[in-house]
Structure 1
Amino acid sequence: MTKSVLCAVDISNGNIDAPVLKIAAKLADLDAAQLDVVTVLPDFGESWVSGFFRPDFHDKAQHEAHDKLVELCVDAVGSERNAKIRHVVATGTAYQEILKTAESAGSDLIVIGAHKPDFKDYLLGPNAARVVRHSNVSVYVVR
């Protein structure tokens, strides 16, 4: 029995992950499980790149990402279902943050979309493939 489902979405792709979110909601509803939705922002951290951004850039980016995440959830599953979703905005490497979020939330299942990969992804591996390889829980990949 699934108690917690984590759905990973990329808000930078507009509504392309709406079908992924709909499937995650259906899977969570099957067992009355908690649905968490995560999106990951890149981390500029202490690198030289961070010097090009205003000090409050990350906070504003997180707030904007949260708003877009909520908007995506409302569009995909409706405002009533969205009210029961935990929205998570993480910062770092996408697949690592998805796995960390799943662990900290106690997720039994991760739902992630597998979009048509670029040539470079065949060499490096897309985030979905990395999540599948490194996850300690089941991963449902939506194509």
Structure 2
Amino acid sequence: MINSVLCAVDISNGELDAPVLKIAAKLADLDGAQLDVVTVLPDFGESWVSGFFESDFHNKALEEAHEKLTALCTANLDADRNEKIRHVVATGTAYQEILKTAESAGSDLIVIGAHKPDLKDYLLGPNAARVVRHSSVSVYVVR
């Protein structure tokens, strides 16, 4: 039985991750599981990089990402369903943050997209492949 599902989306993909989100919601609903949705922002914290940004850039980026993540969930699920979702915005390396979030949330299943559709091969994208390879829980890959 699944108690918690973590869905990883890239908000920079716009609506391209909508099918991933919808499948994650269906899988969570099968067992009445908690649905968590995570997106990961790159880390600009290194001193030589962060010097190019305003001091409050990171906080603004987190707020904007949270708004976009919530809007993606509301647009593809309904507002009532969205109220029950835990929206997580992490900062760092995508696959590492997805795995950390899954562990801290107690997720039993991770749902992730295979890659951006403009790739012409049938291989997993690098983040999905790393999540599959390093995860201690089941991973459902949406193509």
**Shared fold per TM-score greater than 0.5:** yes
Deviation (angstroms), 1:78: 1.0
Report the CA distance between 1:56 and its aligned residue: 0.1
The aligned residue for residue 78 of structure 1 is 78
Percentage of pairs with the same residue? 81
Equivalent pair of 1:95/1:128 in contact (CA under 8 Å): yes
CA RMSD of aligned residues (A): 1.4
Aligned to 2:18: 18
In 2: Cα distance, 1:55 partner to 1:91 partner: 16
Letter in 2 for 1:141: V
Q: Which residues of 2 match residues 10-49 of structure 1 at below 5 A? A: 10-49=10-49
Aligned to 1:94: 94
TM-score, normalised on structure 1?
0.93
Shift of 1:126: 1.2
Q: Which runs of 5+ in 1 are unaligned?
A: none
Match of 2:105 in 1: 105
Q: Within 2, Cα distance between the matches of 1:11 and 1:96?
A: 17
**What is the one-letter code of the residue matched to 2:40?**
V
AA partner of residue 80 (structure 1): D
- Runs in 1 of length 4+ with deviation above 4 angstroms? none
1:32 maps to amino acid: G
Amino acid at match of 1:77: L
| Conserved? CA contact 1:117–1:126, under 8 Å | no
**Runs of 5+ consecutive residues of structure 2 not aligned to the other structure:** none
Task: Give TM-score, length-normalised by structure 2.
Answer: 0.93
Could you say which residue in structure 1 is the equivalent of 2:53?
Answer: 53
Residue by residue, what CA displacement relative to the aligned partner does 1:73-105 show, whole Å, maximum 9, x if unpaired?
001111111010000000000000000000000
For residue 118 of structure 1, report the CA deviation from its aligned partner.
Answer: 4.7
